[in-house]
Amino acid sequence: MAIINTLEAKTHFSRLMARAEAGEEVIIARAGVPSVRLVPVSEGEAAAGARVFGADPSVRLPLDSPFFEELPEDELAAWE
C-alpha cells in the first residue's frame, strides 16, 4: 500500500494510475491524512454504451434511450 500526499499525486498521477491498475493500493492523503483511494475501474463499470441509473446497478439505460433526449420546448417551459 502506498500513501501519497496531494502534491506528489498531482505531479506523478500517470504513474499512480499505472500502479493502481497493476493492483497496488494507492491512497492519496491531504496533509498526511488519508483522504481517497485510487482504484481501477472494473470491466463492468467501463461497459461502453450504458450508464448505471439510480441505486440499482442492474438497471441500465442505453445512451440512445429517449431518457437522454432533450425535452420539447413546451415541457421545458413548464419546468422553468
Domain boundaries, the chain: 2-38, 50-79
Distance CA 80, CA 76 (A): 7
- State pTM to two decimals: 0.53
Distance CA 6, CA 62 (A): 36
- pLDDT tens digits along 61-72: 788 888 888 888
- pLDDT tens digits along 10-58: 999 999 999 999 999 999 999 999 999 998 887 666 655 566 556 677 7
Amino acid at 67: F
Radius of gyration of the chain (CA): 19
What is the model's pLDDT at position 52? 56
Q: Per CATH, the architecture of 2-38 is what? A: 3-Layer(aba) Sandwich (3.40)
Amino acid at 52: V
Scanning the structure block, which residue is given the C-alpha cell 505531479?
Answer: 11
